[in-house]
Amino acid sequence: MDLLDIARWQFGITTVYHFLMVPLTIGLAVLVAGMQTAWYRTGKYRYLKMTKFWGKLMLINFAMGVVTGIVQEFQFGMAWSAYSRFVGDVFGAPLAMEGLLAFFVESTFLGLWIFGWDKLSKGVHLACAWAFSLATVLSAYFILAANSWMQHPVGVELVDGRPRLNSIWAVLGNNTVLAAFPHTVFGCFAVAGSFLIGIAAWQIARHHRKSAVDDEDRKAWHGSLRLGAWVAVIAFAGLAISGDIQGKLMFQQQPMKMASAEALCHSEAPASFSIFAVGDVARPDCENVKSITVPYILSYLANGDFTSEVKGVQALIPEYQAKYGTHYPDDPRLGQFAGQPIDYTPNLPVTYWGFRFMIGFGGLAALGAVAVLWLTRKQKFPEGRWWAPLAVAAIGLPFAGNIAGWVFTEMGRQPFVVAPNPDPSGIDGVWMYTAQAVSAGVTAGEMLTSVIALTALYGVLAVVEIFLMVRYVRGGFDAVMPPKPPEGEKADEALSFAY
C-alpha cells in the first residue's frame, strides 16, 4: 500500500471509531440533563438515580470521545498537510470555532458537573449539565459545517488557485449542513434511545428473577425504558425526514454519489429504487446485477416527483470528464497518479451497501423501539426469556446504521476530498482530489506506524470501555448512588463523585 491508501485507512479507522463514541455521548448527555431536570423539578429520588446511573455510563464514554477527538484535529495537519494548506482559509474557521465556542464549554462544565454535586447549588449544577450537553450538540454543528463544505463548497472565491473565504455565513448556513446537522443529531438520539432500551430491559428482566424488587428501582428502570423507546421512535422519524431532504440535496450536489448509492448505471425515467442487489455491483456497466427494485421511488427520492429522470453512472462520467478533466495533472507530487486518467466512480459496492445498511439498520432499530412501546404500555412488561438479550443486541443497530451512513457519505465523495458541484447553486471550480491532499513530507513507514499504533490502542480501549460499561450496568443504581441518601449529611467535607 502506498502513503495515500494508508492515510485513507487511518482516517477511516479513526473517524469511524470516534463516531462510535460521539453519538452516544451527545444523545446521553442531553438525556441525562433532562433526567436531572426532572429530579430538580419533582424532587423524586428515582430521577436522581437515573441521572447518576446514566450519567456514569455517559462519563465512561465521554472520556473516549474526548481523547479520540484530539486525533481528528491533529491528523489534518499530520497526514493531510496539502489538504490543510489548500483549504485552511475556510476549513480552519469552523474548527477554531468548535474549540473556542463549544469544546471549552463542554470540558469545563463537565468538570464542574462531575465534581460539583455538593459544591454548587442544585440549580447551578443543573445549568452545568445543560451547558456541557448543549455544547456537545453545538460542537457537532461546527464539525458538520466543516464537513459539509467538503461536500459542497460555498462562501469562497478562487484566488491564485486556492479557495478564499468570502462569507462565513454562507459556510455556516450551507444548505448541506442545514440538512446534515439534524440528520446526524437524530442519529445520535437513535443511538442513545436504543442504549437506554437495551440496558433498562436487561435490568428489568433481571429484577423479574429476583424475589424482592425495590418498587422505586423498578419504576426507574421502566421509566428509562419508555424514555429510550420514545426517543428512538422520534429520532427515527426525524432521521427519515431529514434524510429525505439531505438525499434530494445530494442528488443535485453530488449526483455521482447518489447514482453509486443506487448502483444506477444507466439513466432511468421514471427511476426505481433498489432494495437489494445480487451480482457484481462493482462494475459501472452493471452487467450481471439483478436488483430487486420498487418502481418510481428513486425519482421521488431524487426530485420529489414520480416520473423524472435520474442520471446513472454511465451518463455522469462524461459530464464529470467534461467539467473536471479526464486526467490528473502531470505533477510529480501526485506520485503514481500523475498524468493518469481519473476514475470518477466511487467504490460502488461500498456506496451501494453503505446506503442500504444505513437505512436498513436504522429501520430495524425503529421497528424495535415501536415494539417496545407497545409491549410496555400500562406498566406491563413482557415475560419471555428471549426479549432482554434481543434488546441488548439491538443496541448495536443504530451504531451500525451511523457507521454505514458515514462510510457511504465519505466514500461516495471519492475521488475528491473536496467535491465539486455540477449544480449551479454551489461554487463550481473549487475541488481537490484526495490524491493531492496527503502529506508529501511524511513517509509511508511513519503513516503505517501511526495506523498500527492507533488501531491497537483503540482496540485495547474498546475492550476496557466495554468491560467498564458492563460492570456499571450490572452494578445498577447501587453502584452509582452514595451509600446513604445525600440529604442532611455534612457532605461538603468529602468530595463526592471524586476520582
Partner 1 sequence: MDLPTFWFCVIALLWLGYLFLEGFDFGVGMLLPILGRKDVERRVLINTIGPVWDGNEVWLIVAGGAMFASFPGWYASLFSTAYLPLLLLLVALIGRGVAFEYRGKVDTHRWRRNWDRVIIAASWISPLVVGLVLSANVFGLPLDEHGDRVGGWWTIFSVPSIVGALAVCGFSLLHGAVFLSLKTEGEIRERARRFALRMGVPLLLPVIALLFIAQFTEGSEWTWVPLVIALVAALAGLARLYRWRDGQAFALQGVALASVVITLFGALWPNVIPSTLDAANSLSIADTASSPYTLTVITWVAAFGTPAVLIYQGWTYWVFRKRIGTKHIPPVHAPSA
**239-247, 381-389, 400-408, 472-480 -> range binding partner 1 (CB under 8 A):** 472-480
- Smaller CB separation from partner 1, 215 or 493: 493
Binding flag, residue 395, partner 1 (CB under 8 A): no
Residue from 24, 32, 50, 93 binding partner 1 (CB under 8 A): 93
**275-283, 386-394, 412-420, 470-478 -> range binding partner 1 (CB under 8 A):** 470-478
- Smaller CB separation from partner 1, 342 or 468: 468
Binding flag, residue 455, partner 1 (CB under 8 A): no
Binding flag, residue 134, partner 1 (CB under 8 A): no
Report, in Å, the least distance between residue 247 CB and partner 1. 31
Binding flag, residue 306, partner 1 (CB under 8 A): no
Binding flag, residue 439, partner 1 (CB under 8 A): yes
Binding flag, residue 278, partner 1 (CB under 8 A): no
- Dihedrals phi, psi of 219, to nearest 5 degrees: -65, -40
- DSSP strands (E only) in 279-401: 290-294
Residues in binding contact with partner 1, number by CB under 8 A? 84
- In sequence order, the 6+-apart residues with CB closer than 8 A to the CB of 434 are 4, 8, 414, 415, 416, 417
Binding flag, residue 118, partner 1 (CB under 8 A): no
Q: What H or E segment, with its residue span, contains residue 278?
A: strand 273-278
Indicate the residue type of 446.
E
Q: Which conformational region is residue 482 in: left (phi greater than 0), alpha (psi within -120 to 50 degrees), or beta?
A: beta
- The residue among 29, 350, 402, 24 whose CA lies nearest residue 236 is 402
- Smaller CB separation from partner 1, 308 or 496: 496
Q: Which x/- pattern over 18-57 shows residues binding partner 1 (rule: CB under 8 A)? A: ----------------------------------------
Binding flag, residue 166, partner 1 (CB under 8 A): yes
C-alpha pair distances (Å), 372 with each of 101, 192, 194, 198, 363: 38, 15, 10, 10, 14
> How many whole angstroms separate alpha carbon 281 and alpha carbon 312?
13
Binding flag, residue 122, partner 1 (CB under 8 A): no
Residue from 13, 38, 120, 240 binding partner 1 (CB under 8 A): 120
Lookup: cell for 215: 418498587
> How many whole angstroms separate alpha carbon 432 and alpha carbon 327?
13
Residue from 21, 29, 31, 110 binding partner 1 (CB under 8 A): 110
**67-75, 213-221, 252-260, 315-323 -> range binding partner 1 (CB under 8 A):** 67-75
Q: Decide: helix, strand or coil at residue 293.
A: strand
Residue from 41, 42, 67, 341 binding partner 1 (CB under 8 A): 67
Burial label, 371 (beta-carbon count in 10 A; 0-12, 13-18, 19+): middle
> How many whole angstroms separate alpha carbon 304 and alpha carbon 173?
23
